[in-house]
Amino acid sequence: MDVGLSRLVAKGHSQKPGIDYNDAFAPVGDKVILRFVLSFALHLGYELYQLDIDTAYLYGNLKETMYMIHPEGFDDGSGRVCLLQKCIYGLKQSGREWYFVLSNFLKSIGFEICPKDPCLLVKDEVLLFIYVDDILVMSKTKQVYERFGDLLKTEFKIKEVGKPKHILGVRVEFVKNRISLFRRQYIEEIVHTFCFHKGNKVYTSMEPHWTPRKFLESEDKEFDPHLYRQLIESLMQLATWTIPDILYSVSILS
């Protein structure tokens, strides 16, 4: 095993609420807000950059007293355990504590949190969208972005991705005055998971005058309600994120 690809992860499933953690909810950027940021940047002519915080959860401050047994292969036989000083991956509160560390630092350098979304922050000519350890930066000029990046480097180890090409599993393309979003891989996974590749191709998302009653009255003995709910959830992800054309059809099927 390549040690460079290894990561120490705690067994968070054994944590007990009220003892090992209190709150576990961590704010995550809304995809609707992300679409707004992309369109807003395009409208103003601002530049977009992407940053990644390396080992973000390790910056989280652990409030509880936590002990962890040695990972397999590292037990020295003494029976001793590890006293955790910081959050690590696997703990239920790690994501929440990391958000507070990042947001508190950003507020200390002048950023304000948007009342509508705690993962959208604004300062002068810079707009930030946070999704866990990924940060999308919208700035008026490259110099403004570089000044922000230098401030961030004083506190965290970051990786500069540059102009975003993939955001949350979505491929992004910039063509003149347009931003296009693609989810080809996700669509292909849906097609093969639900065996759509066996069907015929059509050019409309739903036949005219179709109603759920027609489907419910059909004698389909292979209908699986659990699988159907999975399909609807997958289609809803597409409809609300990158393919609004199917939104009406998905709502009917829901």
- Per-domain residue ranges of the chain: 12-181, 184-253
Give the per-residue pLDDT at 1.
Answer: 44
| C-beta separation of 181 from 242 below 8 A | yes
Give the per-residue pLDDT at 171.
Answer: 87
End-to-end Cα spacing for the chain: 45
CATH topology of domain 12-181: Alpha-Beta Plaits (3.30.70)
Q: CA angle, 242 as apex, 237 and 244 as ends, to 5°?
A: 85
Q: CA angle, 156 as apex, 2 and 121 as ends, to 5°?
A: 125
Q: Is the pLDDT of residue 80 over 80?
A: yes
Q: Is the pLDDT of residue 250 over 50?
A: yes
Q: Is the pLDDT of residue 150 over 90?
A: yes
| C-beta separation of 230 from 21 below 8 A | no
Give the per-residue pLDDT at 79.
Answer: 84
